[in-house]
Structure 1
Amino acid sequence: MSKVRWGVLSTAKIGTKKVIPGMQNGAYCEVSAIASRNLAKARAAASELGIAKAYGSYEALLEDPEIDAIYNPLPNHMHVPWTIKAIEAGKHVLCEKPVGLTADEAQKLLDVARKHPQLRVMEAFMYRHHPQWQKARDIVRDGGIGRPVSIQTWFSYFNDDADDIRNQPEYGGGALMDIGCYPISLSRFIFEGEPRRVMASVTIDEQFKTDTVTSAIIDFGGITSTFTCSTKSAPYQRVHIIGTTGRIEVKIPFNAPPDEPCILYHETNEEIQELRLPIADQYTIQGDLMSKAILDESPTPTPLTDAVANMRVIEAIFRSGKSGKWETIAKDSAE
């Protein structure tokens, strides 16, 4: 069976430790090349991961006619520029989240992608494809919690390294861009719609000048999603989906382990069911779904318009953090 030949831009840890190993187990993925601005780093990564080709520049990888698609795990500020370069080189692209630094930048990428309809471009929100989230959405769709009322999310870790790119504002660092994008995405995924307005509290670190604790209320019109994300709190993550007659609790919502079952709790009528989902690697699933879309010339699992819409919400939260008021989200956020 045909496989998509993937090339990877950079030796970023998310790629070498999570995404590449996952994709290498896929039925439709072949990771054929990796590039770094340092050839020695590229060769070392290629050797460790069993990748055939190593390049000492990103340009060289994009010029390789034997590469069909690019996985882009570069720092946030390099997502849009290099994804556009990959598209213009005739490559399909799976780009890490958040897709860009601003909604306008994401829209620019969407506009370029639309000029190349034969290519598939997708933001890498891997969690959506895991069986636990497919199950959670099915329960909500089937009325398993009654009418949805709210989603509550906590996502945090502790990182006080000033040299870490996640703590550098000019490169798109901070809690909201790094991990706050997840609870925004999941609420839109579960509610299957776009929010109207947001209210937020954003704490800016005096040293890093990035947000280290951000809390928000996202109003979908009668139902809400609330979350706190932090880069200077104890590591923890949990999601609660509350309805009129039941609830769902997702134990490890975002960093789902690839080697053990994930657990959902589904409560109705004071009875709690523990649902154990099959062992699955969300990076393998993501890679295969994207590759299958390329091979079949079918739509990507998540359209690029979704990435633009997510960025619109992120920007509204930042605006609310400054204004202290409810901030509306443009109705044409997914256009």
Structure 2
Amino acid sequence: MNKVRWGILSTAKIGTVKVIPAMQQGEFCEIAAIASRNLETAKYAATDLGIPKAYGSYEELLDDPDIDAIYNPLPNHLHVEWSIKALDAGKHVLCEKPIGLTSEEGQQLVDAGARSPHLKLMEAFMYRHHPQWKQAKTWVEEGKIGELRTVQTNFSYFNNNPDDIRNQAGAGGGGLMDIGCYPISLSRFLFDAEPNRVFGLVENDPDFQVDRLASVVMEFGRGTATFTCSTQLFPYQRVNIFGTEGRIEIEIPFNAPPDEPCKIWLETEENLHQTEIQVCDQYTIQGDLFSQAILEEKTVPTPITDAVANMRVIEAIRKSSRDEGWTSL
């Protein structure tokens, strides 16, 4: 087998618009089937995307012996349940972020994965696999900016549609779960550590009862990370990484375009150097890396325990906002 045969669990937009077309360009991915709770919906998506098989239930897809791995882009509250069912069906699992509604729920998935150690399991934080983040991480590790001291992130978009699942509290909606997880993840990635404590101010939408604006400080001992995320602000994203001798700026840190180069800057006292990252699709890279881990029986790029650690930080931020003070992890 030189390609992994993938089944897609639902016709969610993130899958049909971004992830599936990207994985179809991969060297090691074959999108073999897609499932929906409605057969006609699945058939439409399959025809549109050139996928051979369509199923009218998730169970039918999991029962297909010709499927090796599952990509799970279901709503947040269904991530853990259906990822565990996929593992129980003998499938490798790439599950969208965030891993679940709580760290305890995420740990259930970790435990399920441990019961089937031959199966690969990973949270789909695609940004980490993009070359611009590989470059930023390398510069930090090589001391190009001196000692890492602080990371500043902004991530926002405007969405006040009550029918959008990101605005539905019962489905795990809200800004922290949808986009706040990114600055948390990247800060932990760069510091290669967990925050000691966090301070958060979180504002909820009075109608949707999901967070629409959050500003957060994370203390890592040797430095800090701050971020603001919002689902009801002007669309914007940017990351600045500051050290004692320089800084790194990433122009489009999360939704890196698949059809044009990305820019990343390294500024020191001597000069400001711009690096243009070649055109690539981070979803293609993610799919191929996960597939290679299956084919070559290697560890996945990001262990599933990382997903639970990220969720613990989100929970601490919420507690900090409720308690109006610092929360230790």
In structure 2, the residue matched to 1:203 is: 203
In structure 1, the residue matched to 2:243 is: 243
Is 1:218 the equivalent of 2:218?
A: yes
Please give the residue correspondences for 1:98-137 in structure 2 after superposition, counting only pairs within 5 Å: 98-137=98-137
Structure-1 separation of matches of 2:112 and 2:42 = 29
Please give the secondary structure, in 2, of the residue aligned with 1:157.
Answer: strand
In structure 2, the residue matched to 1:148 is: 148
Please give the residue correspondences for 1:25-40 in structure 2 after superposition, counting only pairs within 5 Å: 25-40=25-40
Please give the residue correspondences for 1:228-267 in structure 2 after superposition, counting only pairs within 5 Å: 228-267=228-267
Whichever residue aligns with residue 12 of structure 1, its letter is A
In structure 2, the residue matched to 1:10 is: 10
Please give the secondary structure, in 1, of the residue aligned with 2:240.
Answer: strand
Whichever residue aligns with residue 133 of structure 2, its letter is W
Please give the residue correspondences for 1:1-335 in structure 2 after superposition, counting only pairs within 5 Å: 2-329=2-329
Structure-2 separation of matches of 1:25 and 1:191 = 33
Please give the secondary structure, in 2, of the residue aligned with 1:260.
Answer: coil
**Pairwise CA distance, 1:270:** 4.7
Please give the secondary structure, in 1, of the residue aligned with 2:135.
Answer: helix
- Identity level (%): 63
User: For 1:196-215, what per-residue CA distance to the aligned partner results, in whole angstroms no more than 9, with x for missing partners?
Assistant: 11000000111110000001
Whichever residue aligns with residue 189 of structure 2, its letter is F
User: For 1:46-67, what per-residue CA distance to the aligned partner results, in whole angstroms no more than 9, with x for missing partners?
Assistant: 0010000000000000000000
Structure-2 separation of matches of 1:276 and 1:31 = 31
User: For 1:134-178, what per-residue CA distance to the aligned partner results, in whole angstroms no more than 9, with x for missing partners?
Assistant: 000000000000000100000000000011110011110000000
User: For 1:30-84, what per-residue CA distance to the aligned partner results, in whole angstroms no more than 9, with x for missing partners?
Assistant: 0000000011110010001000000000000000000000000000000000000
Structure-2 separation of matches of 1:2 and 1:98 = 30
- CA-based RMSD of the aligned residues comes to 0.6
Give the TM-score, by structure 2 length: 0.99
Structure-2 separation of matches of 1:134 and 1:165 = 32
Structure-1 separation of matches of 2:75 and 2:217 = 28
Structure-2 separation of matches of 1:109 and 1:23 = 24
In structure 2, the residue matched to 1:333 is: none
Structure-2 separation of matches of 1:253 and 1:197 = 25
**Pairwise CA distance, 1:222:** 2.7
Whichever residue aligns with residue 139 of structure 1, its letter is W
Structure-2 separation of matches of 1:144 and 1:280 = 25
Please give the secondary structure, in 2, of the residue aligned with 1:143.
Answer: coil
Structure-2 separation of matches of 1:222 and 1:280 = 34
Please, which runs of 5 or more residues in structure 2 have no aligned partner? none
Please give the secondary structure, in 2, of the residue aligned with 1:80.
Answer: helix
Please give the secondary structure, in 1, of the residue aligned with 2:78.
Answer: helix
Give the TM-score, by structure 1 length: 0.97
**Pairwise CA distance, 1:191:** 1.0
Please, which runs of 5 or more residues in structure 1 have no aligned partner? 330-335
Whichever residue aligns with residue 57 of structure 2, its letter is S
Structure-2 separation of matches of 1:157 and 1:185 = 19
Tell me the number of residue pairs that the alignment of Structure 1 and Structure 2 aligns. 329
Runs of 4+ in 1 over 4 A off after TM superposition: none
Structure-2 separation of matches of 1:212 and 1:270 = 41
Please give the secondary structure, in 1, of the residue aligned with 2:203.
Answer: strand
**Pairwise CA distance, 1:225:** 0.6
Please give the secondary structure, in 1, of the residue aligned with 2:163.
Answer: coil
Please give the secondary structure, in 1, of the residue aligned with 2:209.
Answer: coil
Structure-2 separation of matches of 1:326 and 1:221 = 14
